[in-house]
Amino acid sequence: MSTVYTGVSDYFKPVTDADMLKRFSRNTTSRRFFFFLGNTDPKKNTKGTLQAFSDYRKQTGDDMKLVMIDYDKTELEKMLSEIGDEDLINHIVLTGYITNTDLPAIYSQCSLFLYPSLRESFGIPIIEAMASGAPVITSVTSSMPEIAGKAAVLVDPFKPDEITTAMRMVMCDELLRQEMVAEGFGQAAKFSWKTMGGDVRKRYEGIVNAKRAHSKIK
């Protein structure tokens, strides 16, 4: 049995187009932000991420924002109440719906992309973020270590304090951030549609050649 990875669309790359950046910037109040791509599904670990972000701000005094897309404000307020930090909503930017083609502008500008899911079958946002030039914090569980390779900081998603520690580690070390971005580009390159097409072709050729060899033996 062999594995063929899916590809990531070509538009996931660092954004330099001023108009595209402005389109997203209208939805934000800060040029410094973490980006979290989650929803109400428990496996996305939204509560744990919010707890980690809350602790990060308290421990560092950093006026960092958290950008969340297409997330319900009422649900967010409920979750912030559960973690005991209702004031955190003043430091969270809810953008509303963002199209896939606009996502690279957010990835490109974020200080960190947070993806500490409890589990994922693949975790394609990890590769999208890396291809767009974002340093990534993701989980040590399920498929994520395989997808992220050595280009991300891996954490135990069940421990918010570990996520906070990872945030602090990356944000206080600019050289580490730059290395993560560079490693991320290399990792993302392994998941292009061209690479996937070549892998599929090799697998089929291998099957065909094996059948031909088996027929000759008979």
**CA separation for the pair 85, 55 (Å, rounded):** 10
Higher pLDDT, residue 77 or 20: 77
Does residue 209 fall inside a structural domain? no
Average pLDDT, the chain: 87
**Boundaries of domain holding 164:** 18-191
Residue 204 in any domain: the answer is no
215 located within any domain: no
Counting Cβ atoms within 10 Å, is residue 131 exposed (0-12), middle (13-18) or buried (19+)? buried
Which residues, including other chains, have CB under 8 Å from residue 186's CB and lie 6 or more apart?
151
DSSP state of 5: P
**Total domains, the chain:** 1
Look at residue 142 and tell me if it is in a domain: yes
In this model, does residue 27 exceed pLDDT 70? no
pLDDT at 205: 46
Does 218 map to a domain?
A: no
Q: What is the structure's pLDDT at 17?
A: 77
214 within domain boundaries: no
* Mean pLDDT of the 2-28 span: 72
pLDDT in tens, 56-92: 999 999 999 999 999 999 999 999 999 999 999 999 9
For residue 187, is it within any domain?
A: yes
pLDDT at 105 over 70: yes
Q: Which helix (H) or strand (E) holds 152?
A: none
Question: Is 208's pLDDT higher than 50?
Answer: no
CATH code: domain of residue 113: 3.40.50.2000
- DSSP codes, 177-215: HHHHHHHHHHHHGGG-HHHHHHHHHHHHHHHHHHHHHHH
> How far is Cα 49 from Cα 117, in angstroms, rounded to an integer?
9
pTM confidence score: 0.85
Sheet strand arrangement including 65-68: 92-94, 65-68, 33-36, 112-115, 136-139, 153-155
Secondary structure of residue 146 in the 3-state scheme? helix
pLDDT band at 213 (very low <50, low <70, confident <90, very high): low
pLDDT of residue 26: 58
**Domain presence at residue 52:** yes
